[in-house]
Amino acid sequence: MLRDFKQFILRGNVVDLAVAVVIGAAFGAIVTSLVKDLITPFIAAIGGQPDFSSLYFTVNGSKFMYGDFLNAVISFVILAAVVFFLIIQPINKLTEYANKRKTPEDPSEKKCEFCLSDIPKAASRCAFCTSKL
């Protein structure tokens, strides 16, 4: 059982996933800091509010911290933009480029014009309906 567990843990995709989660969490922290420390103060300088995280409203004594929510939304949008423009778009371009370079395969089979079965391209009779081609 321990040997199977060791094989599972050392499998390439598990290790890759673990690295991706750690790097993703670190990148998320960087984006959160960027929003909190640079972008929010910049927007606040234009709008006059020094910190979004302190924005709230009260209903029946309950605080609703919508400023933290605004920070989270800005962080999400920036993170999504970075992932889209720096990961998704380049991968799509590479995939498109790789697909353009592929040459179409010459089919080794053709359809029988009588029974529409797949037969070898060099056949002179259909193996299914025995029609002469």
Looking at the fold, whether 61 and 119 belong to one and the same domain comes out as: no
The whole-number average pLDDT for the span 39-51 is 73
Looking at the fold, whether 57 and 112 belong to one and the same domain comes out as: no
For the chain, the domain total comes to 2
Looking at the fold, whether 109 and 55 belong to one and the same domain comes out as: no
User: According to the model, what pLDDT value does residue 89 have?
Assistant: 92
| Residues whose CB is less than 8 angstroms from the CB of residue 119 and which lie 6 or more positions away in sequence, other chains included | 109, 110, 111, 112, 126, 127, 128, 133
For 8-34, what is each residue's pLDDT tens digit? Answer: 777 767 777 888 899 888 988 888 888
pTM for this entry? 0.52
For 61-105, what is each residue's pLDDT tens digit? Answer: 998 888 888 878 887 888 888 888 888 899 899 888 888 877 667
Looking at the fold, whether 64 and 22 belong to one and the same domain comes out as: yes
